[in-house]
Amino acid sequence: MDVFVIEGGRRLSGSIRIHGSKNAALPLMAACLLTDEPMILSDVPNLSDIRNMTRLLGELGVHSGIEDTDHGQTITHRVTDATQSHARYEIVRTMRASISTLGPLLAKRGSARVSLPGGCAIGQRPVDLHLRGLEALGAKITLEGGDIEATAPNGRLIGAPVFLGGPFGSTVLGTANILSAATLARGTTIIESAACEPEIVDLANMLNAMGAKIRGAGSPRITIEGVDELGGTSHRVMPDRIEAGTYMCAAAITGSDLTLENCPLDAMMSATDTLGHMGIDVEVNDRNGDPMRSSCTISRSGEIKPVQITTQPHPGFPTDLQAQFMALLCLSNGNSVITEKIFPERFLHVAELSRMGAQIHRQGATAVVTGVKELTGAPVMASDLRASAGLVIAALAARGTTIINRVYHIDRGYEQLEEKLSGVGASIRRADAEEFADSAMSI
C-alpha cells in the first residue's frame, strides 16, 4: 500500500491545470447506456473511480476505447451487447456512483438489476429517493439478495411529476438518475426539488446534445419531455470544482501565489466568497470566453481569518470542500464554526488533524476550530477521499514530516496529486508503506 510523505513549510508557485470532474464524468459515462450510437467523452480524469465505472460498463455490454491526451483521457463508449443489465455487488461496493447506471439501464432496456450500495465512511447514504423517483415514473422495484430489481411495465417508463426533496435537501446522483431515465420515458416528467449542482447541468447539456428535451437544469425544477430515442455525441467534461477548491486551500495555507488554469470559477462562488472572508485573494486573470474554464491566481498576504461555514446543496458551500477548509482554518487567528448539513457524520479527519496539533472540538454535526500557531507533521490515516485531501493541505503547512497512510482514497479523486503539487514546489512523494512500517504501526 502507498503512503504520501510530505515535508511541510514550502511555498508554492507556478500554475496547475484542473482536470475534468470525476463527479460529472461518472453519470455522463453511465448515460452512454441510453444510446446505441458511439459517445465520445473528453477531459475524463484518469482515476480509479473512472476505471471502475469503465469496468462496470464493460460488464453491461459497453465497449470503451480509451485514448490518453494532454488533458486527461478521451473515452469512446459504444453499447455492443444490451442483454446484460446486472451491476454486481463486487463492483458497486468499490464505487457508490455505480447506482447511476440504474436509471439509464431501466429506461433503455426496460429492466435493471443493480446491487444496493452499502454505507460508507462519510455516512449511511441511502438511495430511497432514487427508488421513489423511478417508481413515480412507473417502475416496479423489489429487493432481491441485496440487489435492486427494477422493471418498466411494457418496457417503457412513463413521464410524471417527481419530488426529490429529502431530509438533507435534494440528491445529486438521484437527480442524475431520474433525469437520465426520464429522457426516454413516454410523456413529460417534472422533477421538483432537483439538485442544482453544476454536474447536473453538464449532464443535461450532454443529454440535450444527444436529442433529449430538458429544460431548467441548474434550477430546482427540471422539465423533461420524453423522446423515442437518443443519438451519440461528443462532450467535454466540465472541470473539477472540488479539485480546484483543494488547490486553492493548498495555496492559501502555504501563503503562496498559485495560478489555476481551466478553473470552473462560475461554479465556485461559495468557496471563493468564503476564501475572501478569510483574507485570501482569488484574482481572475482570464475568463477565456468561458467562466467555467477560467485562469485565476490565489494569494494571501495577511493572517487567515476565522469564518463560519455551513455545508449546503449548491449554490451553498460544498460538503466535498469541508475537510480542506477545516485544515486551512486550523491555522487561522481565531475560532471558526463548521456545520455539516449534508453528511452530518463527515468528520473523520478531525481526529487525524488533532494528531497534527489542531484544536478542534466537535459536537454532533458542528465543529469549532480554534486556530493554532503551527501544525506539526505526524503519521496520519486517510479515511475517505476528501478527508484525505484535508490532511494533505494540513501537511503542506505543518512543521516536519507527515506520512499519510492509505492514499488509495486520494487516488479515487485526485489525478496526479503528487506530480501537480511537486511541480509547484511542494515536497511530496509517494512511497511504499513498508518503508514507514514503524510510523504506520504507531497509528
Question: Where on the chain is the footprint of ligand EPU (CB under 6 A)?
Answer: 23, 26, 97, 123-130, 166-168, 171-174, 319-320, 342-343, 385-386, 413
CA-based end-to-end distance of the chain: 15
Cβ distance to ligand EPU smaller for residue 295 or 319 = 319
Tell how far CA 285 is from the center of its chain: 26
CB of 100 to ligand EPU, least distance (A): 8
SS (H, E, C) 138-179: CCEEEEECCEEEEECHHHCCECCEEECCECCECCHHHHHHHH
Among all chains, which residue has been given the C-alpha cell 429544460? Answer: 215
Closer Cβ to ligand EPU, 5 or 87, answer by number: 87
Is residue 382 left, alpha or beta, with left meaning phi > 0 and alpha meaning psi from -120 to 50?
beta
* Exposed e or buried b per residue across 270-294, where buried means at least 16 C-beta atoms within 10 angstroms of its C-beta: bbbebbeebbbbbeeeeeeeeebbb
Q: Please report how close the Cβ of residue 126 comes to ligand EPU at its closest, in angstroms.
A: 4
| CB 342 to ligand EPU: min, Å | 5
Minimum separation from the CB atom of position 133 to ligand EPU (A): 8
Q: To the nearest 10°, the Cα dihedral for 83, 86, 90, 94? A: 110
* Cβ nearer to ligand EPU, comparing 389 with 398: 389
**Cβ(174)–Cβ(182) below 8 Å:** no
Smallest CA-to-CA distance from 57 within 37, 77, 74 is with 77
3-state secondary structure of 193: coil
Our answer to whether residue 330 is catalytic in this structure is no
Between 67 and 128, name the residue whose CB sits nearer to ligand EPU: 128
Closest approach of ligand EPU to the CB of residue 48, in Å? 13
Distance of CA 395 to the CA centre of its chain: 22
CB of 346 to ligand EPU, least distance (A): 8
Please count the other Cβ atoms lying within 10 Å of the Cβ belonging to residue 36: 13
Specify the residue, 5 or 250, whose C-beta has the smaller distance to ligand EPU: 250
Q: Reduced to 3 DSSP states, what percent helix, strand and coil does the chain have, rounded to the nearest 5?
A: 35, 30, 35
Cβ proximity to ligand EPU, 97 vs 182, nearer residue:
97
CB 413 to ligand EPU: min, Å: 6
In the set 120, 196, 296, 330, the catalytic residue is: 120
| Residue 9 C-beta: closest distance to ligand EPU, Å | 28
Which one, of 367, 348, 347, 371, lies nearest residue 359 by Cα? 371
DSSP code of 18?
P
Looking at residue 228, the DSSP 8-state letter turns out to be S
The smaller minimum CB distance to ligand EPU, of residues 218 and 371, is found at 218
If the CB atoms of residues 35 and 175 are measured against ligand EPU, the closer one turns out to be 175
Q: Is 35 helix (H, G, I), strand (E, B) or coil?
A: strand
Give me the least distance between CB of 412 and ligand EPU, in Å please. 8
DSSP 266-328: GG-HHHHHHHHHTTEEEEEEE-TT-GGGEEEEEEE-SPBPP-EEEB-STTSB-GGGHHHHHHH
Sequence-distant (6+) residues with CB within 8 A of 352 are 380, 381, 383, 387, 391
Q: Which amino acid is at 271?
A: A
Closer to ligand EPU by Cβ: residue 82 or 116: 116
Please identify every residue annotated as catalytic: 120
